[in-house]
Amino acid sequence: MSARILSPSEEALAEAAARLRAGELVGLPTETVYGLAADARNPAAVRRIFAAKGRPSDHPLIVHLPSAEHLPQWARDIPEEAWTLAHRFWPGPLTLVLRRSDGVPLEVTGGQETVALRVPAHPVALALLRAFGSGLAAPSANRFGRVSPTTAADVLEELGEAVALVLDGGPCPVGVESTILDLSRLDTVGPVILRPGAIGAEELTEALGRPVAMADGGAPRVSGSLPGHYAPATPVRLVAAGEIEPVVTQQLAQGKRIALWSRHPVAASQVVWQELPAAPEDLARRLYAQLRAFDRLGVDEIVIERPQGEGPLARALADRLERAARGSGGR
């Protein structure tokens, strides 16, 4: 049976929950990107996620919870800092890495003794989690290393019949993956951001009353941390604003067709131009959809102006674009 996109009616949510209980995979909208959900307590279902995505088995998954009250079912030795952040930022785009409880399958954690947990801030995700009644492992619903999906149609394009159904929650309102914060080593290194997102070090430091560091070499493995990730098949090049015209001119002289995402156009018949949003919030919402659209054009290269701006979302966008450029080109 072909996978279906369903509006999130009560009947569709009930069917999705039943499919999950049966060990099947469901496409799930969140505020960040669409996830590929499975029962996080079912090792066989979790292995189906890895098979569908082509994801290495040592690359851990994030478990999505119905509420913060479910934390003790998934983590042990929960520090007070975790409760502080959960009450401040959940539901929301913040993932906490904690020591796993004994009942968490090692398939979920990539064989590690830590588990990544969050409560998503999307009404459809929360409705399904409450109907299901437990945690759902849900990495981004795309082939491993490729562009994350931000619409239900993206999920079907990526994974097809590997999913039983996709719940349509509309385009994702944030558009980039959650901040991942490691709280598993508070006694030795303190809180550490392992993946930047919309919630930044400044907000976390203010909430905790102590400094929050960026990733270090001894950190647990987490989603989205490989050097090349979030990548289209078409090669991506990041270019400073002042270098765009000479770079494009050089590529055109070699007979190449270019997709250009910048604040200002370059007039040439072999250039497909889209205006780069100035505000980080707008760019985040459009990022993955635009990379997918460029990828469909069959151009030789995607040239993107390095975005400007400060703050956590600007840093998250810089991270995603750098990884997309490094991982791109694998047709």
pLDDT digits (tens, 9 = 90+) for 200-245: 999 999 999 999 998 876 677 777 677 788 899 999 999 999 999 9
The sign of the CA dihedral 65, 71, 74, 78 is positive
Percent of the chain scoring above 90 in pLDDT: 90
Task: Report pTM.
Answer: 0.95
Q: Where are the alpha helices (DSSP H) in 133-267?
A: 152-159, 201-208, 244-253
Q: What is the pLDDT of residues 81-125, one digit of tens each?
A: 999 999 999 999 999 999 999 999 999 999 999 999 999 999 999
Domain(s) of CATH 3.40.50.11030: residues in the chain: 236-327
Domain(s) of CATH 3.90.870.10: residues in the chain: 4-214
**Number of residues that this document lists for the chain:** 331
Q: Where are the alpha helices (DSSP H) in the chain?
A: 10-21, 43-53, 71-74, 80-89, 106-109, 123-132, 152-159, 201-208, 244-253, 280-296, 312-327
Closest C-alpha to 324, from 292, 277, 299: 292
Between the alpha carbon of residue 193 and those of residues 20, 185, 218, the distances in Å are 31, 12, 12
Superfamily of domain 236-327: Threonylcarbamoyl-AMP synthase, C-terminal domain (3.40.50.11030)
4-214 fold:
DHBP synthase (3.90.870)
The sign of the CA dihedral 39, 204, 288, 247 is negative
Give me the residues paired with residue 146 across strands: 231
